[in-house]
Amino acid sequence: MSGKIIDGVAIGQEIREEIKERVATLQEKGCQPGLAVVLVGNDQASRTYVTNKQKSSVAVGMKSELIELPETISQEELLAHVERLNQDDSIHGILVQLPLPKQIDENAVIRAIDPAKDVDGFHPENVGKMIIGQRAFLSCTPYGIVKLLERTGTDISGKHAVIVGRSNIVGKPMGQLLLQRDATVTYCHSRTKDLTAFTKQADILIVAIGQAKFITGDQIKEGAIVIDVGMNRDENGKLCGDVDFASAKEVASAITPVPGGVGPMTITMLLKNTLHSAEKASKEGRCGQ
Ligand code: GUN
C-alpha cells in the first residue's frame, strides 16, 4: 500500500482564497485587517518564518507591520511595543515570534498581548477558553491540522488519536481540539515507555517531537493517517519531518509531506485568526485605519 499524500499547499491555498474574498469585503466597509509581527534579534530561522508570515498576509490583502528589535532589548522596552500595538486600532493581530532572548520572560510578553489580538492563541485566556470549549483564538498549527483532517474527509469522531509531543504550542492544544471532536486521545512524549505500543494503536498519528525521522513505518498501524509537524534537516542538509516519510507512506492511508504539509496550514490559520479579529472589530465599530 502506498498512502495518499495530503497536499497542505493546495488545501492552504483554497482557504487563503476564501480569506482573500472576505478581506476584500471588509475593505469595502473601510476596514483593512492588520497583522503586526514582532521579531527580536537575528535568528535566521525566525526571520524566515516571519518573512513568510508577512508575505502571506500581504498576499491576501492585509496590512502587515514588521517591528524589528535588537537582541539586547529590555523586557520593559519590548512590553512598551506590545502595549502600543494593543492600543493601535489598525492592528487586529499581534504576533511576537518565539523564541525570545534569555533576558526576556516569554510568558510575561504573551500575557501582555491583548487576548482579542492574540492571533497565535498563546495567551492563557485563549488557552483556557479553548480547553473549556468557548470561542477563542486557536493555536495555528493544531488548528491547521484539524482543517487538514476535515478537508481530506477524515471522520475524527471515535478515532484513536495518538500525539507524540506535548509542547504548549502544538501537542497539548492538538489533543484538546481532537478531544472536542470526539476522538480518544493518547499523549506520548520523550519519557513514554514502549512508544511503539502506543503509536501502533493510532488511527490518527500526530508527530511533533522535533527529531528528524523519529517515527518509522514499522511503528505505524496499517491504514493510519499520519500528520508530521516536524521541520528538520537530515544528514544531507535536506528538509525533513519527524516521520521517516519513505517507510511511513507504505503503511499509512494518508500522510503529510515535509515541506508542503502542515507548514502552509499554520500560516493559513494565522491569516484566518487575523481576519476573524478584524471582522469582529469592524462589527464593533473599532477598525481604525
Ligand atoms: N515560533 C515557532 N512557532 C511559532 C508560532 O507559531 N508563533 C510564534 N509567535 N512563534 C513561533
Rounded distance between C-alpha atoms, residue 203 and residue 225, angstroms: 6
Torsion of CA 173, 175, 180, 181, to 10 degrees: 120
Tell me, in angstroms, the distance from the centre of ligand 1 to residue 97's CA: 5
Task: Kindly report the protein residue whose alpha carbon is nearest to atom 8 of ligand 1.
Answer: 97
Q: How confident is the model at residue 1 (pLDDT cuts 50, 70, 90)?
A: low
172 is catalytic: no
Q: How confident is the model at residue 19 (pLDDT cuts 50, 70, 90)?
A: very high
Q: Beginning with the edge strand found earlier in the chain, give each strand of the sheet holding 63-69 in spatial order.
A: 63-69, 34-40, 93-96
Compute the average pLDDT of residues 149-159: 96
Residue 99 CA: nearest ligand 1 atom is 1
Domains present along the chain, CATH in parentheses: 31-115 (3.40.50.10860), 140-263 (3.40.50.720)
> What are the tens digits of pLDDT across the range 168-182?
999 999 999 999 999
Cis peptide before 33 (omega within 30 of 0): no
236: its cell numbers = 544531507
Q: How confident is the model at residue 68 (pLDDT cuts 50, 70, 90)?
A: very high
Is the minimum distance from the CB of 96 to ligand 1 under 6 angstroms? yes
Beta bridge partners of 240: 232
Rounded distance between C-alpha atoms, residue 231 and residue 261, angstroms: 10
7 is catalytic: no
Residue 266 CA: nearest ligand 1 atom is 6
- Report the predicted TM-score, pTM, of the whole model to 2 decimal places: 0.96
120 is catalytic: yes
Residue 120 CA: nearest ligand 1 atom is 7
